Amino acid sequence: MAVKCCFSWRMALLVSVLMSVSIAHADNNAFKVCADPNNPPFSDKNGSGFENKIAELFAKQLGKKVEYSWFPQRIGFIRNTLKAQLPNSKDYKCDVVMGVPTGYELAATTKPYYRSTYALVYRKKSGWDDIKSPDDLAHLPEERKGKLRIAMFDGAPGTTWLLKHQLAQQGVPYPSMTGDATVNTAQLLEKEFAAGNIDMVIVWGPIAGYLVTHAKPGAFEMLPMKSEESIKFDFPISMAVRFPDKERKEELNALISQNAEKIAALLREYRVPLVDQDGNLIQAANKGKK
């Protein structure tokens, strides 16, 4: 009996060691991404977001496979992904967040890999086709202003802009984060436009691109916003790693530099309005993916 017990214990130990080696090997050969499973156009479980595509590009060049740790990108996202250790291990669930504001305070950020701006989006052929720039809204006759319904998100620069230009009364309020993780902001706006509940929205560039590409060709107009005094619309976006992970950060910086043109081309496919450091548009916003 003693021999049998000793043999069983040794076999269990051997299996445990082999499993540990296998996990370590898998970790070394995986590009471990922290991502939201339902956050188009950025990421989703189907791999159709542009952050998914960039992750695949980087992983291929590193000779690795993409491995995801999924969690809704809301309060607690970093704590439950990038900073979450695996049980009984010094390893983490994932190592890279593909898109955060440059200088994000909860993690170390890479060099920016794109800069976008908020954009005004409206449905064409609904009485607003004469709007050729956001400033045209501020000069609408009072009668037309009264008919306008523009989505307004708490805390967003678009809301500040509406207040500054005396258009807040035309705002239809929405929370900046939906209470349902299965419907993100882009999907919510898509439904609200389809239902006829809103005429316009000032929204972050990639989401504006999503609205345009998911509609019939020519159904929406997208007008990039230009930062003005006291209202910042354009922001740089980076990738994020844990603060001590300097080696991985430099590896990502190198990949960003090497693939700058490919990344820009991919973002154009998703109709993301790209701007330079001065907020000037650097690519046509009316060409790209459908």
Average pLDDT, stretch 263-278?
96
What is the structure's pLDDT at 5?
A: 42
Residue 109 CA to residue 249 CA, distance in Å, equals 7
Mean pLDDT, the chain, whole residue set: 89
pLDDT exceeds 90 at position 141: yes
What is the structure's pLDDT at 27?
A: 54
Average pLDDT, stretch 136-155?
93
Indicate the pLDDT class of residue 26, thresholds 50, 70 and 90.
Answer: very low
pLDDT exceeds 90 at position 220: yes
Average pLDDT, stretch 106-111?
98
Task: Report the 10 Å Cβ neighbour count for 154.
Answer: 10
Distance in angstroms between the alpha carbons of the first and the last residue of the chain:
70
pLDDT exceeds 80 at position 75: yes
Indicate the pLDDT class of residue 23, thresholds 50, 70 and 90.
Answer: very low
> Quick check: bond before 41 cis, omega within 30?
yes
What is the structure's pLDDT at 109?
A: 98
Closest CA to 221 of 98, 112, 133, 89: 133
Indicate the pLDDT class of residue 232, thresholds 50, 70 and 90.
Answer: very high
Task: Report the 10 Å Cβ neighbour count for 22.
Answer: 10
DSSP alpha helix (H) spans, the chain: 2-28, 50-62, 77-80, 135-138, 142-145, 157-164, 185-194, 205-213, 246-258, 260-269
Dihedral (C-alpha) 170, 176, 181, 182: value to the nearest 10 degrees? 30
Residue 123, beta-bridge partner list: 220
Domain architecture of the chain: domains with CATH: 25-115+235-269 (3.40.190.10), 119-224 (3.40.190.10)
Average pLDDT, stretch 219-224?
96
What is the structure's pLDDT at 283?
A: 58
Bigger pLDDT: 238 vs 9: 238
pLDDT exceeds 60 at position 18: no
Bigger pLDDT: 26 vs 254: 254
3-state class (DSSP) for residue 269:
helix
Indicate the pLDDT class of residue 11, thresholds 50, 70 and 90.
Answer: very low
Residue 207 CA to residue 186 CA, distance in Å, equals 6
Full-prediction pTM beyond 0.85?
yes
Residue 37 CA to residue 251 CA, distance in Å, equals 25
Place of tokens 């007008």: 223
What is the structure's pLDDT at 247?
A: 97
